[in-house]
Homo-oligomer: A and B are copies of this chain.
């Protein structure tokens, strides 16, 4: 049996977009539900694939099928294809399963030739109209089906207008158009050595081929590569052959495009525009200004009424806002296309609510139609989409949101100016823990170095501050307090705007719009909460952040990083004292100074989360992260040595001191004093002291610096070898629990150990915990309750998860580190050096630090969950890496039955929605689908 390549709109299986293409599917479905679609048929994508399989030859029998369907059209319309007196004209339009706007070709008015044009003009009593349609056909057909150059037609048209002394195409009279048709045909003959085919069937055959050919045209191929449209998503184009209707036959004709609702606001009203007496292409051509669709109500009230009915029918049918095209030919309305309307974030949320309220869709459908990206847009201040600003540079989008302010190059300045009420953007080559006080007061952070896990990125994300990192085009000189980008100088105090959602950096202030977390979003998220199986927690390190997380709907804190508490400006010196301590007593003393500070932090967080669980991770980073860098110390020592040399030779210290970096300058005594000392010969001594100080620090930095700090002396490894530190932290936590209880706060405490690779590490820390707990209970006279668990972020922890489950009450996946270890990719290095290349060249489908790598990391997670739950069926398992806020990764987390995801507070709403979507998608899938090896989460 021969396959059938052609289906009438009335008979096609309109659900099969893969075969009919998007446009064909829409036309068929509208036809079948009784909407006024001009009669027509679809040549399927299967024919296109066959065309290529056969070496670019139309499948045999195809044209017979086409002819038979054209005859059916003739019967329906009472017109005849190629007939002089009452000719049937058709359009030929491409249409693949995925929309690829403008990428493939369309030819209108097929069926015309010299004779038909003339006869049609007479019959319609509008020879100008007929000739205009004919010259459009010759041009389009010449270009698309025959390969003539567009330029040649355009030049001839311009000449004709000049010769006739007119400005616009539509002013061309009958004679001029007749001449134009002749000239166009000559172009084809002269340029291509062939004639424009007068035979309408030849026209149709060549037009079909042209559309198929355009599927592999450069534009289309590039588009598919750019938007990652794989053959599974769209494989070949269909061709829609449709009876021509004309919106340009007179004042009772019109053409327009409309959305069933406003795609910008979501308002429940028809939205679009139309032109009277015009063809479809005129609406987009911009020569005449189209009118708002609402004017149709007074201009053509009956048509308006029909459109309102159609609007309702379409939404009822599609359960979605539609974007459609229509034409009115002499008082009759025709639908030429419909598809799901693309809406912005606001409209997407609003229409979801409205459609449910109007009974058109269910809550579940409403949840599935909102994209998490849309939600994210709404949750951050963003660049006004209406502002057409050009970025001066683009870095990595490290923490979403837009911010503008005056440039400062130093955390101290940021703090000072911020406190004075100025809006500032902290701009640095890279940031360090000692810059943290500047973050608090800055509106945004911009760095020229570092990836998405650089200090700046991680801290900014945690605080929910807009941040762009690794903007390498910008050369930042922190010391000179100047930046240059492509020749443009930026000095302290200049205004800039950054967009942490896109990575763009703008000069000056670019308008922004407010975030939205209004009642509509709350309503949607409440539905999501009803549906989802996954819990949603937030990562938060301060009472303020915890409160914000709770407001965003977090059901607990999944990760409280205690090291942030070490980096605060008032604590860093103590932490350094601890690291530099010469004796165990000094170390102990420094550690003990930190205890009340940490305790206060924990109490604040417990209070903010009253009754909800708070997972506190003990210190994770290596100690050297709290020290200055080797390089900065060496540079300081070098500068100081030079200054010492110069002071020895100089009588006046002023220029020597002035040449020093500001931070060093400040550590010297006032110049007057120094001058006095020089004469007393001890100016050098002051500097010697500074050098000695830094040498001592340098010694410690050298001693603690690691080759691969990500895999070094940190987390539980530090905790076990420097037990005072963990014991202090455990003490601070449990004392906070005890004091909270006494103050009527319900502290639900979970102590979490990072970097574990071996169960015995946990056994040892558990001993610390039990000892401390006993002491605290004794001291406070209350029972102290807590859970004890571990991060699963070392690969070995996944493989040994059974043994680890025996000594823990919960797991929390740290998928950032786990991804690093699984791939052997250092995130910062990978994102700077090779990951972009990998994604661009399709070696990896995406950046595995953004989207969880299901086949590698996911496989290990699944192993860990299975091993862990085999030992402890009720083991609580969560995820607290950044993937916990990534929708596709959340879907995976649902599939492997995690108990919760934890993400930054700002992504909590997104996670709530994504968790609900994951559940709904799973419910919709059949058992067979779920078990199918192609189902993306069926790993291994």
Q: Counting CB contacts under 8 A, is A755 at the interface?
A: yes
Interface residues of A in 863-886 (CB under 8 A from B): 867
Task: Flag A798-827 by CB within 8 Å of B: 1 or 0 each.
Answer: 011010000000000000010011111110
Known contacts A758-B843, A826-B707; A795 and B641 CB within 8 A of each other:
no
Main secondary structure of the interface of A (DSSP, over half): helix
Partner among B793, B834, B843, B856 whose Cβ is within 8 Å of the Cβ of A824: B793
Task: Flag A827-849 by CB within 8 Å of B: 1 or 0 each.
Answer: 01110011001100111100000
The contact sample of 10 A-B pairs, CB cut-off 8 A, is A631-B634, A637-B638, A706-B833, A707-B709, A708-B709, A708-B711, A708-B828, A713-B830, A795-B822, A796-B853
On chain B, the residues within 8 Å of A717 by CB distance are 830, 833-834, 838
A649 shortest CB reach to chain B, Å: 5
User: Could you tell me if A834 and B721 are in contact, using CB atoms closer than 8 angstroms?
Assistant: yes
Q: How many copies does the complex hold?
A: 2
On chain B, the residues within 8 Å of A842 by CB distance are 760
User: Could you tell me if B834 and A764 are in contact, using CB atoms closer than 8 angstroms?
Assistant: no
Known contacts A721-B833, A800-B855, A859-B799; A757 and B824 CB within 8 A of each other:
yes
A362 shortest CB reach to chain B, Å: 40
Q: Counting CB contacts under 8 A, is A642 at the interface?
A: yes
A residues apposed to B, CB below 8 Å: 630-631, 634-635, 637-638, 641-642, 645-646, 649, 706-713, 717-718, 720-721, 755, 757-758, 760-761, 764, 793-796, 799-800, 802, 817, 820-826, 828-830, 833-834, 837-838, 841-844, 853, 855-857, 859-860, 867, 940
Closest to A453 in B: B707
On chain B, the residues within 8 Å of A802 by CB distance are 940
Q: With the chains together, A646 CA to B825 CA distance in Å?
A: 47
Closest to A939 in B: B799
On chain B, the residues within 8 Å of A817 by CB distance are 824
A690 shortest CB reach to chain B, Å: 15
Beyond A637-B638, A710-B826: 14 further Cβ-contacts under 8 Å?
A707-B828, A708-B708, A711-B820, A711-B829, A712-B833, A713-B830, A717-B833, A717-B834, A720-B834, A761-B843, A793-B824, A794-B822, A794-B823, A796-B824
User: Could you tell me if B822 and A799 are in contact, using CB atoms closer than 8 angstroms?
Assistant: yes
On chain B, the residues within 8 Å of A630 by CB distance are 630-631
User: Could you tell me if B711 and A796 are in contact, using CB atoms closer than 8 angstroms?
Assistant: no
A846 shortest CB reach to chain B, Å: 12
Would you list the 8 A-B pairs with minimal beta carbon distance, nearest first? A708-B826, A638-B638, A711-B826, A796-B856, A713-B833, A712-B829, A794-B824, A708-B708
User: Could you tell me if B799 and A856 are in contact, using CB atoms closer than 8 angstroms?
Assistant: yes
Q: With the chains together, A713 CA to B824 CA distance in Å?
A: 10
Known contacts A645-B642, A800-B856, A834-B713; A829 and B757 CB within 8 A of each other:
no
Interface centre among A761, A833, A837, A842 (most CB of B within 10 A): A833
Q: With the chains together, A802 CA to B634 CA distance in Å?
A: 49
On chain B, the residues within 8 Å of A713 by CB distance are 829-830, 833-834
User: Could you tell me if A830 and B641 are in contact, using CB atoms closer than 8 angstroms?
Assistant: no
Closest to A712 in B: B829
Partner among B642, B843, B853 whose Cβ is within 8 Å of the Cβ of A641: B642
User: Could you tell me if B711 and A843 are in contact, using CB atoms closer than 8 angstroms?
Assistant: no
User: Could you tell me if B843 and A799 are in contact, using CB atoms closer than 8 angstroms?
Assistant: no
User: Could you tell me if B712 and A826 are in contact, using CB atoms closer than 8 angstroms?
Assistant: yes
Closest to A634 in B: B634
On chain B, the residues within 8 Å of A642 by CB distance are 641-642, 645
On chain B, the residues within 8 Å of A826 by CB distance are 706-712
Q: With the chains together, A490 CA to B718 CA distance in Å?
A: 35
Partner among B721, B794, B834, B841 whose Cβ is within 8 Å of the Cβ of A837: B721
User: Could you tell me if A710 and B712 are in contact, using CB atoms closer than 8 angstroms?
Assistant: no
On chain B, the residues within 8 Å of A631 by CB distance are 630, 634
On chain B, the residues within 8 Å of A867 by CB distance are 940
Known contacts A634-B631, A824-B711; A720 and B860 CB within 8 A of each other:
no
User: Could you tell me if B794 and A711 are in contact, using CB atoms closer than 8 angstroms?
Assistant: no
Q: With the chains together, A761 CA to B842 CA distance in Å?
A: 10
On chain B, the residues within 8 Å of A799 by CB distance are 822, 855-856, 859-860, 940
Q: With the chains together, A793 CA to B843 CA distance in Å?
A: 18
A848 shortest CB reach to chain B, Å: 9
User: Could you tell me if B708 and A843 are in contact, using CB atoms closer than 8 angstroms?
Assistant: no
Q: With the chains together, A631 CA to B632 CA distance in Å?
A: 11
Partner among B712, B764, B828 whose Cβ is within 8 Å of the Cβ of A830: B712
Interface centre among A708, A720, A844 (most CB of B within 10 A): A708
Partner among B794, B796, B824 whose Cβ is within 8 Å of the Cβ of A755: B824
Q: With the chains together, A631 CA to B711 CA distance in Å?
A: 22
A812 shortest CB reach to chain B, Å: 16
Partner among B637, B638, B860 whose Cβ is within 8 Å of the Cβ of A795: B860
A795 shortest CB reach to chain B, Å: 5
Q: With the chains together, A281 CA to B187 CA distance in Å?
A: 122
A861 shortest CB reach to chain B, Å: 11
User: Could you tell me if B649 and A837 are in contact, using CB atoms closer than 8 angstroms?
Assistant: no
On chain B, the residues within 8 Å of A857 by CB distance are 796
A720 shortest CB reach to chain B, Å: 7
On chain B, the residues within 8 Å of A828 by CB distance are 706-708
User: Could you tell me if A711 and B634 are in contact, using CB atoms closer than 8 angstroms?
Assistant: no
Partner among B641, B707, B796 whose Cβ is within 8 Å of the Cβ of A822: B796
Closest to A718 in B: B834
On chain B, the residues within 8 Å of A796 by CB distance are 822-824, 853, 856-857
User: Could you tell me if A707 and B707 are in contact, using CB atoms closer than 8 angstroms?
Assistant: no
Closest to A817 in B: B824
On chain B, the residues within 8 Å of A645 by CB distance are 642, 645-646
On chain B, the residues within 8 Å of A856 by CB distance are 757-758, 795-796, 799-800
Q: With the chains together, A821 CA to B821 CA distance in Å?
A: 5
A610 shortest CB reach to chain B, Å: 35
Q: With the chains together, A631 CA to B705 CA distance in Å?
A: 12
Q: With the chains together, A527 CA to B761 CA distance in Å?
A: 44
On chain B, the residues within 8 Å of A718 by CB distance are 834
Closest to A633 in B: B634
User: Could you tell me if B710 and A764 are in contact, using CB atoms closer than 8 angstroms?
Assistant: no
User: Could you tell me if A821 and B837 are in contact, using CB atoms closer than 8 angstroms?
Assistant: no
On chain B, the residues within 8 Å of A757 by CB distance are 822-825, 856
Partner among B634, B707, B841, B860 whose Cβ is within 8 Å of the Cβ of A638: B634
Interface centre among A646, A826, A843 (most CB of B within 10 A): A843
A397 shortest CB reach to chain B, Å: 20
On chain B, the residues within 8 Å of A823 by CB distance are 711, 757-758, 794-796
Q: With the chains together, A822 CA to B793 CA distance in Å?
A: 10
User: Could you tell me if B711 and A710 are in contact, using CB atoms closer than 8 angstroms?
Assistant: yes
Known contacts A645-B645, A708-B829, A856-B757; A764 and B800 CB within 8 A of each other:
no
Interface centre among A710, A802, A841 (most CB of B within 10 A): A710
Closest to A819 in B: B796
A619 shortest CB reach to chain B, Å: 14
User: Could you tell me if B720 and A843 are in contact, using CB atoms closer than 8 angstroms?
Assistant: yes
A230 shortest CB reach to chain B, Å: 14
A817 shortest CB reach to chain B, Å: 7
Interface centre among A710, A712, A794, A820 (most CB of B within 10 A): A712
Q: With the chains together, A488 CA to B457 CA distance in Å?
A: 50
On chain B, the residues within 8 Å of A649 by CB distance are 649
Q: With the chains together, A293 CA to B764 CA distance in Å?
A: 54
Interface centre among A635, A638, A706, A822 (most CB of B within 10 A): A822
User: Could you tell me if A711 and B825 are in contact, using CB atoms closer than 8 angstroms?
Assistant: yes
